[in-house]
Amino acid sequence: MKKYTEDIKLFLKSEFGKAIENASEQEIYFALSKAIMADLTENWEKTKLDYSKEKQAFYFSAEFLMGRTLGNNLMNLNLYHSIQDELDALGIKLNTLEELEEDAGLGNGGLGRLAACFLDSAATMNVPVNGYGIRYDYGIFKQYFENGFQKEMADNWLKNGDPWSIRKVKEAVTVHFEDGDVLAVPYDTPIVGYGTNNINTLRLWKAEPIVPFDFDLFNDQEYDESVAKKNRAEDISRVLYPNDSTNEGKILRLKQQYFFVSASLQELVRKFKESHGKHFEKFPEYIAVQLNDTHPVVGIPELIRILVDEEHLTFKKAWQIAKETFAYTNHTILNEALEKWWVGFYKELLPRIYEIIDKLDKQFVHELKELGYTKELIKSMRIIQDNMIHMAYLAIYGTKATNGVAALHTEILKNQELKDWYELYPNRFQNKTNGITQRRWLLLSNKQLSGFITELLGSEKWVTDLSEVKKLEQFADDSAILNKFISIKKEKKAELASYILEAEGIEIDPNSIFDIQIKRLHEYKRQLLSAFQILNLYFDIKENPQIDVVPRTFIFGAKAAPGYFRAKGIIKFINEIAKLVNTDKDVNGRIKVVFVSNYRVSYAEKLFPAADLSEQISTAGKEASGTGNMKFMLNGTPTIGTLDGANVEIVEEAGLENNYIFGAEVDELEAIKDTYDPKAIYDAHPRLKKIIDTLIDGTFDDEETGMFEELYNALLVGASWHKADNYFILKDFDSYVEAQKRVDTDYRDQLKWARKCWMNIAGAGKFSSDRTILEYAKDIWNIARIDV
């Protein structure tokens, strides 16, 4: 095994002018990363060469929530333990260096984390898939709390440099906007597969000015004006998801989308021509593009523009090529979340693209008329309606495949939200249930459990074939095995408790149930329902201080979008509950509430392995899939949840008896949606009324922001854009409380509980992103594995 000490010393000299004994830990982290990067180069270049000869897929995504790179790469390269030993000999702790790495600020939620898992799986499975996106200077934001309110600060993830990417300025391309051209400069990051020579690529584009600054203006001492164009260009890749509450913000979002899509497609066309000349009819034979949600759907008219305006193909040929090249992943059931753009923005910023979309809209209308569709149905399906461009409709029309991301999600798309489109194009709709990479979410983040699984199975085959964990079922009734699992879980809980004390200054009891809900903050995910259940338990204790409850720690982690007032109100409400519960002597530590700050991938790697209960309580029919539910499951955590998203398949694989399902199902909610009266439930339910009234009766203080009253009204009055209790919190409350009581009862028998946990691990085989990526490769992209 190669030694890296000399390489580290060399990079410390060249990058920082320091000997190792004088270098900081941050500098040693950087030098070690550079040393690993240097060793990757040969296989990385060979992978690119081998891939260029065959058909490849390109994953277009506005987000790639990668997490930290050092530990993951060392693990995938089988260098982790040797590097650890080498650093130990130098008096340096590898874990300390890992903690110094900033989480890359390139993603926010499940969509971005899925993209990251897919890249890892593609490289590991030797599937030629490369990612394209934006190299944001700043992530969405770093979160902290002030008096319980979420506050945001810049996520300057690049402040110490990025040793894992290479700037390729010679491969920069120009992106044209009506208000000025911008340079797109690529930065390449290697995606290292596990136990393979294949190294795939994530290419991210940074926006830069064509001319760095106006020298004449500067010379005239117009300093701000001299760099105004530079700043406007760089704004495009400055921040992930800039606030779009104003027209300026919306235009910047649109610029971001077109910027990375145009740069990527220009490059794909250039590379195709280098290998195949102008035989563009073969373009789909060598290139498949997956559109991750609607953000990159502008790629459809952009490829047509390039082929028609620059390569002089007919519109008809360009349209056929585009339709065979692209595929679309739908990530939302919520119709209001399907992206729409006012035509004025396109006309102002991308007039040629608008012309092409308008032509596609008219072409589509003609096709529907030919099929005998009624005027009303045609109007409801048009790509351009009421001066709005419906990007999801453009995506379905302009691609060869549309897929949902869980079995239930896909069925709802086919039978409800996109029913007319499914009837028009039944063969285009597919399901591709999401997955996670077991390498980051078990092998790296839970070394104790992964080592135990390897020991029991007699090999590490499960690391690249997760179906192997099914064999763990044979140990489900072995008390010695289950006790070992219990001890591992306790160890992970103690580690998390120690980290939370250090990071948040809050002490939690590792012997309590760790009841964890970590995900994006959104009303449909129903963090508010969790908050109501905590208050319910609190009032039980207040009314009967001698009540027997298993001590429980409720842990939340979530960021609310900066402009999402209600989501911020829910965070404040939960923090107010924490302040009440955690300081009440009657409770005396039996329940504790913690909202961890700045939830991110590296924090998640500590939370998932330590959880006793996984909260997946979204309103049935609203969560497309969820992948946090899979990460909990893989680490041996039962789900308390609705039959929503991938929960349905999790229960099928792990057993209903090993999870805690509650609440109304999709069909029931669909049947009552027009007659549902939450006010009647409120009036007839004294405890629930007492809980909801805490929003307005002075129990909690929102400092006159109106946040709590707004939440109260959302539940009982509704708003102009939705009915009262739009997400059925009141309807599901009693069912949720009963499920939580079953958890309390079952947890008391530790072996019985451990068996539930164990069966969840054994049932997790289906939920590997390795399986998902191979399905995409076979069913949508038609690409083969390439073993470098």
pLDDT tens digits for range 201-236: 999 999 999 998 888 878 888 878 888 888 999 999
From the list 531, 594, 592, the residue with the least C-alpha distance to 557 is 594
pLDDT tens digits for range 591-619: 999 999 999 999 999 999 999 999 999 99
Together in a domain, 337 and 367? yes
**pLDDT higher than threshold 70 for residue 529:** yes
Together in a domain, 125 and 171? yes
Catalytic site positions: 331, 519-520, 525, 627, 631
Q: CA 402: distance to chain centroid?
A: 19
pTM for the whole thing?
0.97
User: What's 455-524 look like in SS3?
Assistant: HHHCCCHHHCCHHHHHHHHHHCCCHHHHHHHHHHHHHHHHHHHHHHHHHHCCCCCCCCEEEEEECCCCHH
**pLDDT higher than threshold 90 for residue 338:** no
pLDDT tens digits for range 669-715: 999 999 999 999 999 999 999 999 999 999 999 999 999 999 999 99
**pLDDT higher than threshold 80 for residue 334:** no
Mean pLDDT to the nearest integer, 648-677: 97
Report the interhelical angle of 647-654 vs 750-762 (nearest 10°): 110
Q: Is residue 714 situated within a structural domain?
A: no
Together in a domain, 516 and 602? yes
161 torsion bin: left (phi>0), alpha (psi -120 to 50), beta (else): left
Q: CA 290: distance to chain centroid?
A: 16
> How many structural domains comprise the chain?
2
> What pLDDT sits at residue 407?
96
Task: Please report, to the nearest 10 degrees, the dihedral formed by the alpha carbons of residues 591, 561, 726, 690 taken in order.
Answer: 30
Together in a domain, 383 and 468? no
What percent of the chain stands above pLDDT 90? 95
Secondary structure (3-state) at 216: helix
Q: Is residue 15 situated within a structural domain?
A: no
Q: Is residue 150 situated within a structural domain?
A: yes
Mean pLDDT to the nearest integer, 329-345: 88
- Enumerate residues 6+ apart whose C-beta is below 8 A from 638: 613, 614, 658, 659, 660, 756, 757, 760
Q: Are 42 and 80 in contact (CB under 8 A)?
A: no
Local confidence band at 750 (pLDDT 50, 70, 90 cut-offs): very high
Local confidence band at 553 (pLDDT 50, 70, 90 cut-offs): very high
**pLDDT higher than threshold 90 for residue 589:** no
Task: Calculate ∠ Cα 612-615-616, nearest 5°.
Answer: 140
pLDDT tens digits for range 226-263: 888 889 999 999 999 998 889 999 999 999 999 999 99
Together in a domain, 386 and 344? yes
Together in a domain, 158 and 239? yes
Q: Which domain CATH number covers 656?
A: 3.40.50.2000
Burial class (CB in 10 A: 0-12, 13-18, 19+), 420: middle
Together in a domain, 522 and 590? yes
For every residue of 608-658, DSSP letters joined together read: HHH-SEEEE-PPTTT-S--SHHHHHHHTT--EEE-S-TTHHHHHHHH-GGG
Together in a domain, 424 and 536? no
Burial class (CB in 10 A: 0-12, 13-18, 19+), 53: exposed
Q: Is residue 685 situated within a structural domain?
A: no
- Enumerate residues 6+ apart whose C-beta is below 8 A from 21: none
- Enumerate residues 6+ apart whose C-beta is below 8 A from 694: 535, 700
Together in a domain, 365 and 225? yes
Range of the domain at 525: 440-663+734-767
Nearest-angstrom CA–CA distance, 741 and 180: 61
**pLDDT higher than threshold 80 for residue 146:** yes
**pLDDT higher than threshold 70 for residue 84:** yes
Task: Calculate ∠ Cα 172-177-179, nearest 5°.
Answer: 125
pLDDT tens digits for range 28-77: 999 999 999 999 999 999 999 999 999 999 999 999 999 999 999 999 99
> What pLDDT sits at residue 503?
97
Together in a domain, 777 and 760? no
Q: Is residue 237 situated within a structural domain?
A: yes
> What pLDDT sits at residue 223?
78
Together in a domain, 448 and 354? no
**What count of other Cβ atoms lies within 10 Å of the Cβ of residue 366?**
11
From the list 82, 37, 779, 72, the residue with the least C-alpha distance to 438 is 72
From the list 607, 595, 590, 608, the residue with the least C-alpha distance to 513 is 590
> What pLDDT sits at residue 220?
86
From the list 531, 534, 493, 496, the residue with the least C-alpha distance to 512 is 493
What percent of the chain stands above pLDDT 70? 100
pLDDT tens digits for range 471-519: 999 999 999 999 999 999 999 999 999 999 999 999 999 999 999 999 9
Distances (CA, A) of 541 to 367, 544, 731, 752, 776: 65, 5, 24, 26, 51
**pLDDT higher than threshold 70 for residue 520:** yes
Nearest-angstrom CA–CA distance, 484 and 488: 6
- Enumerate residues 6+ apart whose C-beta is below 8 A from 452: 484, 485, 488
Q: Is residue 169 situated within a structural domain?
A: yes
Q: Are 330 and 403 in contact (CB under 8 A)?
A: yes
Q: Are 364 and 413 in contact (CB under 8 A)?
A: no
Structure tokens at 178: 């009506």
Q: CA 131: distance to chain centroid?
A: 15
Local confidence band at 336 (pLDDT 50, 70, 90 cut-offs): low
Structure tokens at 480: 């010695």
Alpha helices in 1-143 (DSSP H): 5-16, 25-52, 70-76, 80-89, 94-100, 110-124
Q: Is residue 140 situated within a structural domain?
A: yes
From the list 566, 786, 588, the residue with the least C-alpha distance to 695 is 566
- Single-letter amino acid, residue 738: E
- Enumerate residues 6+ apart whose C-beta is below 8 A from 442: 449, 450, 453, 634, 635
**pLDDT higher than threshold 70 for residue 766:** yes
Task: Calculate ∠ Cα 468-474-475, nearest 5°.
Answer: 105
> 180-192 and 166-167 as β-strands: parallel, antiparallel, unpaired?
antiparallel
Locus of tokens 């200054």? 505
Q: Is residue 553 situated within a structural domain?
A: yes
Distances (CA, A) of 468 to 9, 384, 461: 42, 49, 7
> Half-sphere exposure of residue 89, counting CA atoms within 13 Å on the CB side?
8
Q: Are 715 and 730 in contact (CB under 8 A)?
A: yes
Together in a domain, 584 and 496? yes
What is the H or E stretch that residue 297 is in? none
Average pLDDT score, the chain: 97
> What pLDDT sits at residue 519?
97
